[in-house]
Amino acid sequence: MRRRLYFLLPDVKSAKVVHNDLLLAKIDERHQHVIAQKDMELEDLPEADLRQKSDIVHGLQVGIVIGGLTGMILSAIAVSMDMIVPGIEVWSIASLTLGGAFLGAFASSMIAINVSNTHLKQFRHDVEAGKILYMVDVRYKRIDEILELVRGQHPEADIRGFDPQIPAFP
């Protein structure tokens, strides 16, 4: 499992230096994400994509659960009211549950794609003030090493902690 570390940096120049140091520390670029003001030129820094900026992963998870439960309840009601042909109840319940999960996942992810990531709410004012939010996903064993690297070589970095966990397959 990986943990997401958060740093606030004052400008693009210091973010590029941190980026290069993390690359030298063998942190792949795909595990580094930068968020800044919309009009700020990030040059070759790895800008955060939709998964980091929006609540799509959380919305997808909630939609699967709620849609699956709704499909299961509706199929149980249909079976109890004899609306389903006898002999195929199990297939009907399974298909309605899976269909509900799929429909719930689709609908909730379409809504969540337009909602900004709730984990990043605490950084919004700093980003709007011109700072750069640098997010790094590191293995749990390397958290202290990376924090020491940033603390030791980049006193301008404001270390803001880390998330408890990042899903294995976000």
- For 118-155, how does the pLDDT look when each residue is reduced to its tens digit (9 = 90+)? 778 888 888 888 899 999 998 889 888 988 888 888 88
Q: Each residue of 37-87: pLDDT tens digit?
A: 888 888 888 988 888 888 888 899 999 999 999 999 998 888 888 887 777
Query: Using CA atoms, how far apart are residues 83 and 163, in angstroms rounded to an integer?
Result: 47
pLDDT at 162 over 90: no
Q: In which band, very low, low, confident or very high, does the pLDDT at 165 lie, cut at 50, 70 and 90?
A: low
pTM: 0.74
Every domain of the chain and the residues it spans = 2-53+118-162, 56-112
> Between 1.10.8, 3.30.70, 1.20.1440, 2.30.30, what CATH number should domain 2-53+118-162 receive?
3.30.70
CB under 8 Å to 3, separation ≥6 — which residues?
137, 138, 139, 140, 143, 162, 163, 164, 165, 166
Given this model, what pLDDT does residue 170 score?
A: 47
Q: In which band, very low, low, confident or very high, does the pLDDT at 164 lie, cut at 50, 70 and 90?
A: low
Query: Using CA atoms, how far apart are residues 63 and 117, in angstroms rounded to an integer?
Result: 16
pLDDT at 167 over 60: no
Query: Using CA atoms, how far apart are residues 42 and 131, in angstroms rounded to an integer?
Result: 12
Number of continuous H segments (helices) and E segments (strands) in the chain: 6, 4
Got the DSSP string for 68-81?
A: HHHHHHHHHHHHHT
Q: In which band, very low, low, confident or very high, does the pLDDT at 97 lie, cut at 50, 70 and 90?
A: very high
With DSSP H G I counted as helix, E B as strand and the rest as coil, what are the percentages for the chain, rounded to 5? 55, 15, 30
107 or 82, which is more confident: 107
Length of the chain: 170
126 contacts 6 by C-beta, under 8 angstroms? no
Alpha-carbon distances of 33 from 36, 58, 138, rounded to whole Å:
10, 18, 12
6 contacts 132 by C-beta, under 8 angstroms? no
